[in-house]
Structure formats: C-alpha cells, structure tokens
Structure 1
Amino acid sequence: MCTSAEQVLTDGRPVLLRAVGYEHPVARSLVARVQQEYVTRYGGPDGAVVDPAEFEPPAGLFLVAEVDGVPAGCGAWRVHATGVVEVKRVYVEPAFRRRGLAAVLMAALESSAAAAGHRAVVLNSGSRQPEALALYAALGYSAVPGYGLYAESPDAVFLGKDLPPGGREERTWVAGPRAS
C-alpha cells in the first residue's frame, strides 16, 4: 500500500508526499543525491549500514516529496529503540530548497511515527549542514547522546525530541496503490 498526502510549499505550490519502498527507483535516485551531498560536505558518503526492510511499514517509512510532478525531496524513519524512531535521508533537491519542503517532510515523518505509536524521534546530522541544524532547532530538536557509527565523530550532531501522542490532528493520509 502507498500512502499519500498533499501539503503546500511557502510559494503556494502543492507537495504530494508518497510512501514508497527504499528500493523504489525514485527513492534510490534521491538517496544517491543525499550521498553525493555527504561527499561534497564531508569528503565521503554515509558509511552507516542501512537495511531497506527497516523502512517498510509498519516498522518504518520512506517518503518521496513531489512538486509539479517532479521528485523534489525525501525523508524516512526507522525504529531506533522501543518507542523511538530515527529519522534518516532527509534531502531536498537544490531547486526546491528554502521553500519549506524539509519542514513539510519532517512534519509528515513525525506525525506518521507518532501515529504508529512511537513517543520520540532522534537523528544524526552534521556540523557542515548548518541549514539542517537551523531547521531542526526551529522544529524543537535538542541535543541527545551520540549513537551508532558516528557516535565519536567530531562532525556529528545528535538531536531528538518527544512526539505528541497519537500523531497530529491535521494528518490526512489516504491509501492508494503501492509504488514499489
């Protein structure tokens, strides 16, 4: 099953959010773009092991954002610990940045995780991603202990926040055919 919901960018254009498998061709393309961003900023791709099955509902979620029918960004979550999810692979294509798309993705990820019964979210960003760190601060994230492959990395920044119980009221996901 694919879920979709429509949101709006700050420039008024609608955003369609689609849940797809991590191995979906559009997801793979956007993940490759995320990895290239890491190469540009840090000198290499993210070396953390990712199992695509971890992002399959109900244990996880991978969202693709489309604007004007074009893949514009992505974001995902997977279970990190009991009641806690980890946000991964939040990315917005350069042509769609500074229009609120990352905030739309984060709101959808948080809402879906809360609706799935999770109580908190964590994420790993980096010191060379100031725009991402500013977004996360604006969304209420604060420092949490490091974890995983980058726990001791001087460039790593670990953030988290509590989720509202049961998701947000404005959640408007609808079921549709699975895009795998």
Structure 2
Amino acid sequence: MAIEIAVESPLQDEVRALIGELNAALLELTPPEYCFHMTVEEMAEPATTVFIARDNGTAIACGALKRHVGGLGEVKRMYTRPSHRGRGIGIEIVGQVERLAREEGLTRLVLETGDRHPAAWAVYDKAGFRRCGPVLDYPDSTYSVFYEKALSE
C-alpha cells in the first residue's frame, strides 16, 4: 500500500506519540532553550494545518503549515520516523505544505531547523528553499539554520 498524506487533527493519541518522538529526537541534538516546539494543542489552533503521513494506517511522519501575518507561512513540526526515512516522505509533506500555502495566497514560506539536521537540510534544499538569516522572532543562534522560499513569482 502506498503512503497516504492527509490533513488531520494533531489531537489523536497516535499523532501525540509521533510528536513526542519528534520532541525527544530534537532534544538529543539541541539544548532545550533552542528547541522551538509547538505543542499538539498549539498545532490544533486554526492558524496551523497539520499533515500526517500514514503507512497502512499507521502515522509515520508529519509536518505543518503555520500562518503568520503579511502573507507569511512557516513550515513546522517536520518529522519522519527512522523506519521510513529515505523514501521521500518529507519532501512530499513539504510539497503539501507549499501547495496549501500557494492556494491560500501566502507569498513566502520560512522555517527554522537545527544545526545538526543535514537530512532536513537536504529536504529543504530539494524543495527549493534557500538559507537565510533569522526569521520571525527566532534568536540568531549557532543552533539554528533558517530557510525561506518565495511563493509569488
């Protein structure tokens, strides 16, 4: 069966567990004060749309679009379980986030990721994002890498 990606509520036990894995993985690589997690409750707010990838019904990856003022969207909570990495799921989720952002008329996507996440960098590079300086209210830190992508041509 193929991997299916759909918009879902993060307030499901299985999705909560997936986000818990993401948080634990990030805390292994980055000091807590430089981990900018959204809780599942924050992810469930109207300004955020959550995409869940499932393999035979099991949640195996996630990502989200968080909307900000001024036509700005932010890619958040990207994660693929280790058992499913290397299969292009992350790039598919980023593609879904970008499609939704374009449909809604957002003009730019930004994101913050860690300084020890080369697999994530590869996804964002492949999706056409470019490194940039700090975005939104994130601090300029050696623990963070920032990306942006213009959506309006």
Structure 2: gaps of 5 or more residues: none
Please state how far the C-alpha of 1:164 moved relative to its aligned partner: 5.5
Greater C-alpha radius of gyration: 1
Residue-by-residue CA offset, 1:87-118 (whole Å, 9 max, x unaligned) = 11000001100010001111011101111221
Correspondence for 1:139 among 105, 123, 127? 127
Please state how far the C-alpha of 1:145 moved relative to its aligned partner: 2.6
Distance 1:66 1:75, change over 3 A: same
Higher RCO (CA 8 Å, separation ≥ 6 residues)? 1
Correspondence for 1:156 among 126, 141, 144? 144
Residue-by-residue CA offset, 1:112-136 (whole Å, 9 max, x unaligned) = 1111221111000111001111221
Aligned-residue CA RMSD (Å): 2.3
Correspondence for 2:90 among 86, 102, 118? 102
Partner of 1:112: 100
Residue-by-residue CA offset, 1:48-100 (whole Å, 9 max, x unaligned) = 3636356545x320011001222110000111331111111000001100010
Alignment of 1:1-180 (within 5 A): 13-44=1-32, 47-48=35-36, 50=38, 52-53=41-42, 55-57=44-46, 59-147=47-135, 150-163=138-151
With the length of structure 1 as denominator, give the TM-score of the two structures: 0.74
Identity %: 26
Distance 2:43 2:70 in 1: 14
SS at match of 1:14: coil
Runs of 4+ deviating beyond 4 Å: 53-57
Distance 2:26 2:42 in 1: 23
Distance 1:147 1:164, change over 3 A: closer
CA contact (8 A) 1:127 1:157 kept: yes
With the length of structure 2 as denominator, give the TM-score of the two structures: 0.86
Paired residues, what number? 152
SS at match of 1:158: strand
